[in-house]
């Protein structure tokens, strides 16, 4: 069984200023004493494979898990880069900011080939946790393959710039974004950190979560993507393929950082 799959699933909703009963989440404020993590590796060999990475950060509403295990021949070139200060993590991703460089809180890249009688089994899970100020969207990848070639990037952004635009501090940015309303040019300016020192001006695309992948495989591979808000929104995208396939796919959730105006329950009623 052979097949070719090319999918571009860009699931994006921009929640902009207006009246309603739902409050869009403004971008989160990065801590003054920000934290970072980086892991970069190149591995080639034959034998037992057991790899896992998890990053959970309530301050930026991030939940991330990546794991795989198998027994066979592997070549792996991967990087995990995480920063609560998005200005420190600058990357160019095709589906973000018109393929121009932008700042992120998490970027994971994997280039891998695998072949073995024992399937390589694993998965990846990326979640913007609504309870901690995220948008509630998640993206998941699962696979169990005897052969695979993969080139994949996962990305996440949820915070304001560390250095605000003009005289606007990160703590006051939500108010300025709300005042900007439907003025998208002004919103983009506010979400762009001013140049300072040797660092150029950097656009931060919060709130954003997604995966770009190109792979060929013999086995089972699939993705799930969901975005749910109670009484308001429910988006689900599921795909699973078993056999010999080539796949190219983009999944992306984005919410405009401008918080909506909200009408309190029983507005105008004296209680």
DSSP assignment of 101-169 equals EEE-SEEEEEEEEEEEEEEEEEEEEEEE-GGGTS--EEEEEEEEEEEEEEEEEEEEE-B--SS-STT--
Are the C-beta atoms of residues 192 and 161 closer than 8 Å to each other?
Answer: yes
pLDDT reported for residue 19: 36
Lowest mean pLDDT among 4-18, 22-36, 85-99, 204-218: 4-18
Mean pLDDT over the full length of the chain: 90
Work out the widest C-alpha separation in the chain, in whole angstroms. 73
pTM greater than 0.85 (yes/no): yes
- Count Cβ atoms below 10 Å from residue 116 Cβ, excluding itself: 18
What phi and psi values does residue 31 have, to the nearest 5 degrees? -60, 150
Assess whether pLDDT exceeds 50 at residue 101. Answer: yes
Lowest mean pLDDT among 2-11, 91-100, 188-197: 2-11
Tell me the domain boundaries of the chain: 47-159+204-244
Lowest mean pLDDT among 122-131, 142-151, 162-171, 206-215: 162-171
Distance CA 165, CA 162 (A): 9
Task: Please choose, from the candidates 271, 206, 217, the residue with its C-alpha nearest in 3D space to the C-alpha of residue 241.
Answer: 217
């Amino acid at each position: 069984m052979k097949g070719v799959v090319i999918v571009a699933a860009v699931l994006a909703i921009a929640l902009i200023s207006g009246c309603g009963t739902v409050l869009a989440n403004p971008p989160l404020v990065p801590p003054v004493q920000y934290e970072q993590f980086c892991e970069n590796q190149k591995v080639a060999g034959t034998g037992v494979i057991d790899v896992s990475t998890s990053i959970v950060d309530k301050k930026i509403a991030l939940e991330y898990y990546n794991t795989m295990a198998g027994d066979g021949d592997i070549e792996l070139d991967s990087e995990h880069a995480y920063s609560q200060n998005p200005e420190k993590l600058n990357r160019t991703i095709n589906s973000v900011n018109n393929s121009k460089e932008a700042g992120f809180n998490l970027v994971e890249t994997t280039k891998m080939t695998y072949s073995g009688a024992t399937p390589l089994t694993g998965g990846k899970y990326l979640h913007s946790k609504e309870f901690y100020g995220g948008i509630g969207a998640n993206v998941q990848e699962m696979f169990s393959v005897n052969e695979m070639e993969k080139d994949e990037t996962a990305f996440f952004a949820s915070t304001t710039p560390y250095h605000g635009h003009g005289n606007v501090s990160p703590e006051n940015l939500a108010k300025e974004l709300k005042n900007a309303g439907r003025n998208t040019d002004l919103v983009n300016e506010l979400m762009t950190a001013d140049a300072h020192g040797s660092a150029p001006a950097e656009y931060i695309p919060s709130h954003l979560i997604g995966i770009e992948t190109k792979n060929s495989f013999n086995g089972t591979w699939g993705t799930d993507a969901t975005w749910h808000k109670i009484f308001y929104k429910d988006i689900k995208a599921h795909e699973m393929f078993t056999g010999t396939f080539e796949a190219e796919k983009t999944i992306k959730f984005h919410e405009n950082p401008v918080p909506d105006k909200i009408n309190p329950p029983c507005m105008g009623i004296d209680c």
